[in-house]
Chain A
């Protein structure tokens, strides 16, 4: 044992595994990232990235409001994201174009109030620390007593997505097919938006309101480059999200003696930077695979020129064309 810990201490800063803030960050950060990534896969499939980002920004209003009245920002984030989701749904017509407009209107109103709250908070308490925490988050300031709350909220968001798995996929293929099959398309949409609101507000606290989009969309987008199967995409996204979060915590802890300030770099920066790197790598891998496959396809086609089916490829734009 001592040998192992000596090796670990050689690689990592001593005290990494005994520090309570680190332990809390590992648990809460891991769970929240996992849920964000799973929910995020459907956000990407449904084309709701803008809504996901806006819910994070709206959470800022709640987070800053909660700070102003001295409550735990988490509740502010959750409450305002849920209210925001409800408002978006109320404004929303069924067409996606109008959906973006509804999101934009709610977002604008919410951010105006957030600006006021942040201003009042800063001028009253004479500190910019709260603003930084709300906008950019920090896993290291989460209290251990909040772990059950984070886990419970995460599980509820995860349960909603698991329950709606098939109807969400079917409505993504075609809302009309789903509707004709008896799927309550609108209810499914509302429930999903609420799960999204919860997931986003959780990552607002761990990663920050401004950066929550990165953990929502990034791992999902990378996973979609890596696989064409829905179940695998979700698994990949979850693995990527947890891995980058834990690695980010490690680097942040390690960065304590880094220049310029020698008081550590923010963990959110590391996580988001790693998400970006992973996406680039996944994109590179998928491009390579596509090149290999098209080379194979050309070779195959040369073997069987003129067989039926090939003409499809050269036909007019498919029905999928928008």
Chain B
């Protein structure tokens, strides 16, 4: 995929080159390549099991590619990586665990360091600023285990952002959010990408909530990926080549339906009732 010129002015943060991954005799990823640029919001779109989470694990260094390269601003991945903020799909915290939302955010500063952190005014201000940036002051002192889906999502985003990463990865951040929280989180992420010039990569099995804010899409199917602008990638010829059989792409007002028949099972990109989409850059 070639990308339009307007993207190339922004510095490249991450590049995957021909990444393939074999796990216990199965090829999970095949020749996956794309790049992410500062200030851009990219959607990593595909159905469950297509390879989205595996791509995240490769970027995070939790899996080593069988072939291909992962480059951060042109360099191999450093061991202790604060350049990447990561928001996992779920964390399994018991409601009793003594961590408030603000403690979770503070762990983002130096949770990888040994020893006990000394409380300081600067530290506290940093955490307060971050809580404010994601509009989380109201539940800053609530136990993490008692936060709602949207509140936890925002706390985890603050946790990931406080170490000032160049790249923010979010694994299905919109899954199990109600529509209002979904729009709030999408708007927040778009704002973060532009204001802080961070490359944001969001995985989702449903692309429509991201359409208004997505600069670029990486579409994954059966371990293969195609990337570019939405117009370039979400087309019948491109997706049919990706899936290896005919795929229908339907446009309904400002929503897109991908109907990938046969092998994948009837995978519909449109899974929810239609709802009004927020204008670009909400937040």
Contact = CB atoms under 8 A, between A and B. Distances in A.
B153 interface: yes
Contacts of B177: 315-316, 319
Contact of B104 (A173, A181, A322): A173
Contact of B92 (A164, A233, A312, A320): A320
Interface stretch (B18-26, B107-115, B218-226, B273-281): B107-115
A70 interface: no
Interface string B56-87: 00001110000000000000000111101010
Given A224-B96, A233-B98, A181 B90 contact: no
A179 B114 CA distance: 14
Of the four ranges (under 10, 10 to 19, 20 to 34, 35 or more), the interface on chain A belongs to: 35 or more
A182 B148 contact: no
B181 interface: yes
Nearest to A161: B116
A169 B91 CA distance: 13
B98 A227 contact: yes
Contact of A316 (B61, B97, B149, B152): B149
A181 B111 contact: yes
Interface in B94-126: 94, 96-100, 103-104, 107, 110-117
A233 B114 CA distance: 19
A319 B170 CA distance: 13
Given A318-B152, A320-B92, A320-B152, A311 B180 contact: yes
A167 interface: yes
Given A319-B152, A320-B152, A182 B107 contact: no
Contacts of B84: 180
B98 A174 contact: no
Contacts of B176: 316-319, 321
Contacts of A320: 90-93, 144-145, 147, 149, 152
B179 to A, nearest CB: 9
Interface in B118-142: 138, 141-142
A322 B61 contact: no
Contacts of A224: 96-98
B32 to A, nearest CB: 19
A47 interface: yes
Interface in A175-222: 176-183
B181 to A, nearest CB: 5
Nearest to A317: B176
A316 B178 contact: yes
B241 interface: no
A232 interface: yes
B209 interface: no
A322 B94 CA distance: 10
A170 interface: yes
A12 interface: no
A162 interface: yes
B88 interface: yes
A170 B92 contact: no
A263 interface: no
A45 interface: yes
Contact of B148 (A41, A181, A312): A312
Given A173-B144, A177-B86, A319-B89, A167 B100 contact: no
Given A166-B107, A228-B100, A317-B149, 14 more contacts: A166-B117, A176-B62, A177-B91, A178-B111, A179-B62, A180-B81, A181-B80, A181-B111, A183-B112, A228-B99, A228-B142, A315-B149, A316-B149, A319-B149
7 contacts: A309-B138, A312-B150, A312-B178, A312-B181, A317-B176, A320-B144, A322-B90
Interface of A: 41, 44-45, 47, 162-167, 169-170, 172-174, 176-183, 223-225, 227-230, 232-233, 308-309, 311-322
